[in-house]
């Protein structure tokens, strides 16, 4: 699994194309040329860009769910609905599907984030508003990591 980092400001043109950040491209190496799957983020009004390998890993897990269980069927649909395969053109631009870009309120200025195993694409104002939330990050970190043993190496 690739661990992606970085925060980049980009411009989106009238066709919803953006120049993929060079630093992220270098981090991805050969994965960049395989293409991506883009979809709505489940929790925030942004888009998630998966490498095709990461999407395959996630999709394999979904494929194990029993679709005769209503909640499983709904979850699969929510996760896979809208998923679209995209590739960079020969200049390094990615074309976002209009419906997905409109869902995320993407206008002209975007933030592209390396976010561990995925890339997030935000409208810049929406991202700035999200980051400006009054949130007790110390409590959140304790809630999430409080019972985690960081002294073990569980790769």
What's the whole-number mean pLDDT along residues 16-21? Answer: 98
Separation between Cα atoms, residue 89 and residue 137, nearest integer Å: 39
What's the whole-number mean pLDDT along residues 33-52? Answer: 97
Structure tokens, 40: 């709505």
Share of the chain above pLDDT 70, in %: 97
Residue 135 has a pLDDT of 86
pLDDT at 155 over 70: no
Separation between Cα atoms, residue 146 and residue 96, nearest integer Å: 38
Residues 6+ apart with CB under 8 A from 82: 39, 40, 97, 99, 100, 103
Residue 154 has a pLDDT of 62
Per-residue pLDDT band for 81 (boundaries 50, 70, 90) equals very high
Fold of 7-144: Chemotaxis protein chec (3.40.1550)
Residue closest to 120 by CA, chosen among 43, 59, 29: 43
Per-residue pLDDT band for 18 (boundaries 50, 70, 90) equals very high
Residue 149 has a pLDDT of 79
What's the whole-number mean pLDDT along residues 69-79? Answer: 95
Separation between Cα atoms, residue 155 and residue 142, nearest integer Å: 22
From residue 21, how far is each of 40, 63, 103, 112, 133 by CA, in Å? 20, 32, 22, 8, 26
Per-residue pLDDT band for 136 (boundaries 50, 70, 90) equals confident
Residue 145 has a pLDDT of 87
- The residue ranges of every structural domain in the chain are 7-144
């Amino acid at each position: 699994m690739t661990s992606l980092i970085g925060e980049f400001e980009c411009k989106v043109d009238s066709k919803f194309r953006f120049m993929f950040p060079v630093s992220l491209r270098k981090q991805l190496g050969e994965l960049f040329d395989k293409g991506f799957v883009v979809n709505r983020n489940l929790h925030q009004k942004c888009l998630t860009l998966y490498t095709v390998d990461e999407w395959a890993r996630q999709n394999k897990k979904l494929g194990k769910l029993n679709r005769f269980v209503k909640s499983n069927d709904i979850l699969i649909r929510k996760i896979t609905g809208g998923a679209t395969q995209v590739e960079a053109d020969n200049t390094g631009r990615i074309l976002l599907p209009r419906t997905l870009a409109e869902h995320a309120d993407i206008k002209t200025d975007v933030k592209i984030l390396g976010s561990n195993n995925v890339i997030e694409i935000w409208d810049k104002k929406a991202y700035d508003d999200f980051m400006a939330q009054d949130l007790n990050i110390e409590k959140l970190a304790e809630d999430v990591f409080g019972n985690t043993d960081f002294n073990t190496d569980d790769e």
